[in-house]
Homo-oligomer: A and B are copies of this chain.
Amino acid sequence: MTKILKPRLLTREVFAPYGDVVQLEGSKHFTINHGMTERFHDLAKIDVEREGGKAIVSIFQGQSYDFPIQIKMMERHPLGSQLFFPLNERPYLVVVGQGEDKLDPTTIEAFWARGDQGVNYARNVWHHPLLALERTSNFIIVDRDGPGNNLEEVWLDESDYRIISSV
């Protein structure tokens, strides 16, 4: 049976079980550089150090998805958080789910992120890989490099979960 995932607007409150929303609104900030710059400070819990890991910075160039989007696979990173911030000011989708030992597919939910919002998936949180919209888009990534297996994937019945529109 097909389940339609209707994306909700991304806010700190709705995303709290999964990690951080990286945005200016509601963030602590202060003035630096003798008045010329406002620093919105320490916006995400960068959790990458266990088992000899360290933070690295990468850019993901994500092909865009067309609707309807089938959620075929979800993944998680057992050893570290993973932060995405869009570099082209374009909205994108975020799909997450819950489950300790394994993903509980009934918990999968979708969020629509503005082009000025980033997300930081907490360590071990199930999420869909990057879902760019409209056209190929770049995102800056802060995640973990280091020893150990930091990727777990689960495949879903292709017909089960679909997103048919952005909001």
A→B interface (CB under 8 Å): 22, 24, 27, 29, 32-34, 36-44, 46, 48-49, 54-63, 65, 73, 83, 85-89, 116, 118, 120, 129-130, 138, 140-142, 145
Contact = CB atoms under 8 A, between A and B. Distances in A.
A38 B55 contact: no
Which 3 pairs across A and B sit closest by C-beta, in order of nearness?
A33-B129, A55-B55, A38-B61
Contacts of A34: 73, 129
A39 B60 contact: yes
Say what secondary structure dominates the interface of chain A. strand
B129 A59 contact: no
Given A57-B43, A88-B89, A89-B87, A130 B24 contact: no
A24 to B, nearest CB: 6
16 contacts: A22-B57, A27-B59, A32-B60, A33-B62, A33-B130, A36-B62, A37-B62, A39-B59, A39-B141, A40-B61, A43-B58, A43-B59, A44-B57, A55-B142, A57-B142, A89-B89
